[in-house]
Amino acid sequence: MTGADQAATDQAAGAIERARGGDARALARLLSLVENGSPGLRPVMTALAPLTGQARVIGLTGAPGVGKSTATAALVAAYRERELRVGVLAVDPTSPFSGGALLGDRVRMQDHATDPAVFIRSMATRGHLGGLSRAAPQALRVLDAAGFDVLLLETVGVGQAEVEVASLADTTLVLVAPGMGDAIQAAKAGILEVADIFVVNKADKPGAQEAVRDLRTMIAMAQRGAGEWKPPIVTTVAVKGEGIGELVAKVDAHWSWLDSSGQRDARRRTRAREEITAIAVAELRQRVGGLPGDSRLDALADRVAAGELDPFTAADELVAATSARQD
């Protein structure tokens, strides 16, 4: 290790120590390293690896308008009653350009804004497919090492990104609201497969019973082996706090099941696999994308666009050039 590396590692260790002590600014700076994909992230990750693995990660997902932020706020309140430290990470994979990521919704979290045992962070993924898979697990890792007991991972949208986020959580809550056709959309999007618990929020609105019934039918139809977890359905009115106690109890029940079934470790290993692969692929993608000023890809693209070359042969040439450069 060079002297500069050692200095970076020492500095990272100091920042992590401060974050563990409750210094929100130190924590925010660490998360900015994650969000920006900064080179300074690497010594931080090295230093905090031994501190991870304690936090319980709860994912909340569902279409826009189902009340995810409100449910998140209600869960924060419930876990604070238990005197647990709670971190909230809100990721918006549908916001590739704006970078605004749910900040408007954060207004609802104001009740907790002055509580030092609650930390809230919004994160946009800025248009990179794969950006989410890189940044979100690392941000969870930082919050875990900072000593939070519960991490709430909130994400918006329906689709692959959501499924990907769900794979980061120990327990995934899929929220639907009455009358939005969410249940069917959820089924289409493969959300059924990732849901550990279904939450029918806004249950005081017309159509709540139909939504419960649709979900129940879908759950009944799903193939499930002996000893596998059967997702319960909880009805809530998060804005009034109704049903949140039951929801927390179901989350606890799922946590116990994860432990007793050995699934907790299995899920965390899978998560680590995906995290490593994402970083490795990002590294390789960067090499393939070419150095700034490297016109190789442009020249290949011109030939493909002109019909002179097929994209496979072009990709072969690119990979060969990349491999030649990498030593």
Site residues (CB under 8 A) for a copy of itself, limited to 55-74: 64-65
Question: Does 291 participate in binding a copy of itself (rule CB under 8 A)?
Answer: no
Complex with a copy of itself: residue 78 or 145, whichever CB lies closer: 145
Residue type, 182: D
Residue type, 56: R
**Least distance in angstroms from the C-beta of 50 to a copy of itself:** 5
Dihedral sign for Cα 122, 123, 126, 127, please: negative
Q: Scanning the structure block, which residue is given the tokens 């990732």?
A: 194
Complex with a copy of itself: residue 46 or 263, whichever CB lies closer: 46
Question: Does 292 participate in binding a copy of itself (rule CB under 8 A)?
Answer: no
Scanning 106-114, 213-221, 250-258, 274-282 for contacts with a copy of itself by CB under 8 A, the matching segment is 274-282
Scanning 75-83, 92-100, 208-216, 228-236 for contacts with a copy of itself by CB under 8 A, the matching segment is 92-100
Scanning 19-27, 195-203, 210-218, 269-277 for contacts with a copy of itself by CB under 8 A, the matching segment is 269-277
Residues 6+ apart with CB under 8 A from 97: 126, 127
Question: Does 84 participate in binding a copy of itself (rule CB under 8 A)?
Answer: no
Complex with a copy of itself: residue 114 or 220, whichever CB lies closer: 220
Considering only 48, 143, 215, 247, the residue that binds a copy of itself (CB under 8 A) is 48
Write out the binding residues for a copy of itself, residues 188-227 only, by CB under 8 A: 188-190, 193
The tokens describing 133, both together, are 């898979």
Rg (Cα) of the chain, in Å, rounded?
22
Full 3-state SS string of 126-176: CCCCCHHHHHHHHHHHHHHHCCCCEEEEEECCCCHHHHHHHCCCCEEEEEE
**Least distance in angstroms from the C-beta of 172 to a copy of itself:** 14
Complex with a copy of itself: residue 103 or 249, whichever CB lies closer: 103
Of 159, 163, 165, 60, nearest in space to 105 by CA: 60
Is-contact 148 86, C-beta < 8 A? yes
Residue type, 3: G
Complex with a copy of itself: residue 147 or 243, whichever CB lies closer: 147
> Residue 242 carries which DSSP code?
B
Question: Does 138 participate in binding a copy of itself (rule CB under 8 A)?
Answer: yes
Scanning 30-38, 68-76, 87-95, 107-115 for contacts with a copy of itself by CB under 8 A, the matching segment is 87-95
- The number of residues that bind a copy of itself (CB under 8 A) is 83
Considering only 62, 67, 137, 231, the residue that binds a copy of itself (CB under 8 A) is 137
**Least distance in angstroms from the C-beta of 81 to a copy of itself:** 29
Task: Annotate 267-294 with DSSP letters as a single string.
Answer: HHHHHHHHHHHHHHHHHHHHHHH--TT-
Is-contact 235 207, C-beta < 8 A? no
**Least distance in angstroms from the C-beta of 55 to a copy of itself:** 12
Is-contact 93 56, C-beta < 8 A? no
The tokens describing 115, both together, are 């509580």
Residue type, 299: A
Question: Does 49 participate in binding a copy of itself (rule CB under 8 A)?
Answer: yes
Question: Does 50 participate in binding a copy of itself (rule CB under 8 A)?
Answer: yes
Write out the binding residues for a copy of itself, residues 7-46 only, by CB under 8 A: 41-42, 45-46
Site string for a copy of itself, 300-319 (x = CB under 8 A): xxx-xxxxxxxxxxxx--xx
Instruction: Report the C-alpha gap between 66 and 200 in whole angstroms.
Output: 9
